[in-house]
Amino acid sequence: PATHLRENPFELAQSQLRRVGETFAVDPNLIRVLSHCKKGVEVSVPVQMDDGSVSVFQGYRVVHNMTRGPAKGGIRYHPAVTQDEVKALAMWMTWKCALMGLPFGGAKGGVICDPKELSLGEKERLTRRYTSEIINEIGPEKDIPAPDVGTDAQVMAWIFDTYSMNVGHSVLGVVTGKPLSVGGSVGRDGATARGSLYCIRTALQKQGGRLHDTRVAVQGFGNVGSNLARLLAEEGVRVIAVSDSKGGIHNPYGIDVPAAIAYKAEHGALGGFPGADEITNDELIELDCDVLVPCALEQVITSENADRVRARMICEGANGPTTPAADDILEDRGILVLPDVLSNAGGVVVSYFEWVQGLQEYFWKEYEVNAKLNDIVVRAFEETWSTKERYATSMRTAAYGIAVQRVAEATTIRGLYP
């Protein structure tokens, strides 16, 4: 399948790390250590399909770093997954957990498949076989998967069940993003979007703005994009465009987001939604709006279109939507970029809460989850903002700088073995 990746994502992640090393004068030996992933497995996943044939899928699980705690990171089911994409996503997870102050390292997994083409039974068999193939890699004290593109609470429930059946008892902490009925946390579903909302609100406050009547365009209408569009609309934001993989819809006066969610659930796509013009995903990036929120895949804002972005702020709901070359252009143009490791960290923060609740087998109320989420995300935002001001740099370099220094410090204190 055609890939959405124009450049090697792991090389981009490594170049971002080198940039941070220079800005913050981090020991080059440490940067060398952190430029590599600690370990990774590549597995083949044979699955009996509904028609009786056997298909063999390719899967990955990569741990970038576990110096500060067990590794944490989502599992992606998508036709264009590559090992280097999984490695980049694992590295970004390390920085995200460190920036949030969570006792986790970074990991990621993926299976090359099109989940939309699989029946429910095929998806279950694929998930259980993939889990069996990586069963020695994961565990509540080792590496804890979560949902990402193409996976959801049901997939997490199958992983939890397969792991638990193999060890002989239920292990709630082996995976997060589980359904509530098997130890999930209230608030996890919308947590990534809620974290993004808190970041946009805090950033607007810094600039003397407010959510009410801010015009926002959201790319991607899955877990992150649709929840964020809904939360923003509830706050009085004018959501002027949303999109999915087939294309977008635009109405400068605002889209009825609950109606769009219902339409997508009924028709499987946003195209044809009444009361809005159809646009392409490329056109959405260049729309006249205040805040642009990419919530789909990597590398959608590049050196080719960054000078045509008209938003004054970009909030990265997706991981890696902006290339380093685009970052330079946006910074020169004075467009504020709220980086992925900050602005989409709400999901892993509530995953951490779910893991803690699972270990304790004691579950919190939703208002407690949301209040604790707000505390952690806003504190990380303020730390990043003040570091940006002190070093006269971008929010991304500041956020990475805080995170990399935390991981570097832990690495130095633990020392190399032997």
As measured in angstroms, the least distance from the Cβ of 213 to ligand NDP is 26
Q: Interaction with ligand NDP in 150-169: which residues (CB under 6 A)? A: 150
Nearer to ligand NDP, 221 or 355 (CB): 221
| 72 is an annotated ligand-binding site residue | yes
Nearer to ligand NDP, 319 or 411 (CB): 319
Residue for token pair 């509904």: 50
β-sheet bridge partners, residue 239? 216
N- to C-terminal Cα separation, the chain = 44
- Binding segment for ligand NDP (CB under 6 A), chosen from 123-131, 220-228, 272-280, 373-381, is 220-228
Nearer to ligand NDP, 131 or 281 (CB): 281
Compute how many residues bind ligand NDP; rule: CB under 6 A: 26
As measured in angstroms, the least distance from the Cβ of 350 to ligand NDP is 8
Residue 297 in the binding site for ligand NDP (CB under 6 A): yes
Contacts of 198 (CB under 8 A, 6+ apart): 346, 373, 374, 377, 378, 381
Q: State the residue number with the nearest CB to ligand NDP.
A: 222
**Annotated catalytic residue, options 38, 87, 108, 206:** 108
Residue for token pair 């892993």: 348
From residue 107 to residue 146, what is the string marking binding to ligand NDP with x (rule CB under 6 A)? ----------------------------------------
Crossing angle for the helix pair 366-391 and 395-414, to the nearest 10 degrees? 100
Out of 122, 124, 137, 148, which residue is the one contacting ligand NDP (CB under 6 A)? 148
Angstrom distance (rounded) from CA 84 to CA 28: 23
As measured in angstroms, the least distance from the Cβ of 412 to ligand NDP is 29
- Specify whether the CB–CB gap between 387 and 401 falls below 8 A: yes
Asked about 108 being catalytic, the answer comes back as: yes
As measured in angstroms, the least distance from the Cβ of 87 to ligand NDP is 14
In this structure, is the dihedral angle defined by the CA atoms of residues 270, 275, 281 and 287, taken in order, positive or negative? Answer: negative
Angstrom distance (rounded) from CA 86 to CA 40: 10
β-bridge pairing 238-244 and 247-250:
antiparallel
| 246 is an annotated ligand-binding site residue | no
| 251 is an annotated ligand-binding site residue | no
As measured in angstroms, the least distance from the Cβ of 168 to ligand NDP is 30
Q: DSSP readout, 145-211?
A: EEE-TT--HHHHHHHHHHHHHHHTS--GGG-SS--GGGTPPTTSTTHHHHHHHHHHHHHHHHTT--S
Nearer to ligand NDP, 248 or 401 (CB): 248
| Rounded CA Rg of the chain | 20
Q: Interaction with ligand NDP in 175-214: which residues (CB under 6 A)? A: 192
Nearer to ligand NDP, 209 or 247 (CB): 247
As measured in angstroms, the least distance from the Cβ of 76 to ligand NDP is 7
Q: Using CB atoms within 10 A of its CB, is residue 159 exposed (0-12), middle (13-18) or buried (19+)?
A: buried
- Binding segment for ligand NDP (CB under 6 A), chosen from 179-187, 209-217, 222-230, 386-394, is 222-230
Angstrom distance (rounded) from CA 415 to CA 37: 17
One-letter amino acid of 135: I
Out of 34, 211, 318, 407, which residue is the one contacting ligand NDP (CB under 6 A)? 318
Nearer to ligand NDP, 224 or 237 (CB): 224
- Specify whether the CB–CB gap between 415 and 68 falls below 8 A: no
Nearer to ligand NDP, 284 or 402 (CB): 284
Give the H/E segment covering residue 48.
strand 39-48
Residue 220 in the binding site for ligand NDP (CB under 6 A): yes
Residue 129: count other Cβ atoms within 10 Å of its Cβ: 19
User: Which residues are known binding-site members for NAD(+)?
Assistant: 192, 223
Which residues are identified as catalytic? 108
Residues of the binding site: 72, 96, 192, 223, 351
Q: Which residues here bind ligand NDP, judged by CB under 6 A?
A: 4, 147-150, 192, 219-225, 243-246, 281, 295-297, 317-319, 344, 347
